[in-house]
């Protein structure tokens, strides 16, 4: 167990189970980042504990948990001292501590890891965690779910999860605006999209995956015998909107590589999905692809408390 910064220790599972050493170091909080929750038996109530289930694999998503882990670590440092550990204290716990130091010290990823290595030279976050730390740095060391980089990161992890397991974890899906209407009062800042046929709410604009416009029909020339198709460029219009998964899609997305997306109320066809990717009408290739056709949905905007709702078709 090594002291990395004031009131912040990095260790392994054996360190975390040595209650006498924890008490000697005046540790009050224990953060476990491991595949199994720590069992301290009768001493469990001695420490405030947090468990983050995570495998030491490149596809494991730690990024989404960095903020909450950092808050727990900061609380522990203020109230006593905190131990962050995984199985060996090399990859998972080191990545979480690096993220915390990046946030509170305003350090870069390299600076945070170099600081930790000065105390514990053998730390080695896996390649996936390194990429997540760099993305965390690019977002200002706060998880911003509205950022296109984060949305793409989430989608790629879901696609990898589907590839490995044949299923996806719907707990990371965007919330259904029909089940959870906006209660923040900021409805004017976020457009709502509804089924054009039955008016059922489907998703909000912060679920949209923006993409660079392709070069139009020239991208589809391999379909045609004559070679290159008609022009493209900036005048190309997309006929679909690509989104992150929303909870009402969970049943459709489970267990199959591709399929149709139907309105959960009227059963009308809204679009399609393909975990291997699909081509937009503008020619851009989107991977993975969850697309809803613009002619099947309406955009609804609230123009203010004294203004009518505007429907954009």
Alpha helices in the chain (DSSP H): 13-17, 19-24, 66-79, 92-105, 109-117, 127-138, 148-165, 250-253
Omega of the bond leading into 288 within 30 degrees of 0 (cis): yes
- Opening angle at CA 98, ends 95 and 101, nearest 5: 155
- Contact predicate 85/31, CB 8 Å: yes
Catalytic residue among 69, 86, 263, 280: 86
At which residue do the structure tokens 């949209």 appear?
208
- Give the count of alpha carbons within 13 A of 118, CB side only: 9
- The tokens describing 167, both together, are 């299923």
- The tokens describing 262, both together, are 């139907």
Alpha-carbon separation of residue 165 from 169, 183, 254 (angstroms)? 10, 35, 11
> Is 198 noted as a catalytic residue in this protein?
no
Active site residues: 86
């Amino acid at each position: 167990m090594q002291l990395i910064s004031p009131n912040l220790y990095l260790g392994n599972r054996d360190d975390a189970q040595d209650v006498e050493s924890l008490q000697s170091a005046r540790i009050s909080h224990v953060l476990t980042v491991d595949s199994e929750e720590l069992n301290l038996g009768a001493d469990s109530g001695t420490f405030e504990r947090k468990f983050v289930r995570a495998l030491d694999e490149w596809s494991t998503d730690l990024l989404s948990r960095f903020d909450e882990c950092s808050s727990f670590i900061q609380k522990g440092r203020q109230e006593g001292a905190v131990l962050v550990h995984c199985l060996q204290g090399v990859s998972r716990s080191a990545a979480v501590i690096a993220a915390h130091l990046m946030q509170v010290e305003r350090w870069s990823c390299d600076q945070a890891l170099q600081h930790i290595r000065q105390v514990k030279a053998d730390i080695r976050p896996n390649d996936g965690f390194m990429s997540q730390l760099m993305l965390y740095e690019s977002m200002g060391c706060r998880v911003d779910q509205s950022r296109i980089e984060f949305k793409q990161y989430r989608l790629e992890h879901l696609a990898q999860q589907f590839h490995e397991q044949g299923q996806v974890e719907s707990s990371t899906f965007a919330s259904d605006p029909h089940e959870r209407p906006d209660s923040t009062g900021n409805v004017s800042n976020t457009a709502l999209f509804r089924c054009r046929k039955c008016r059922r709410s489907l998703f909000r604009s912060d679920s949209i995956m923006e993409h660079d416009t392709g070069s139009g029909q020239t991208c589809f020339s391999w379909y045609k015998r004559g070679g290159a198709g008609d022009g493209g460029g900036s005048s190309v219009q997309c006929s679909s909107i690509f989104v992150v998964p929303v909870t009402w899609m969970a049943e459709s997305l489970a267990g199959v590589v591709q399929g149709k997306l139907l309105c959960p109320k009227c059963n009308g066809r809204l679009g399609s999905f393909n975990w291997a990717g699909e081509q937009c009408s503008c020619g851009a290739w989107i991977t993975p692809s969850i697309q809803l056709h613009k002619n099947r949905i309406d955009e609804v905007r609230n123009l203010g408390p004294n203004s009518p709702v505007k429907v954009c078709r």
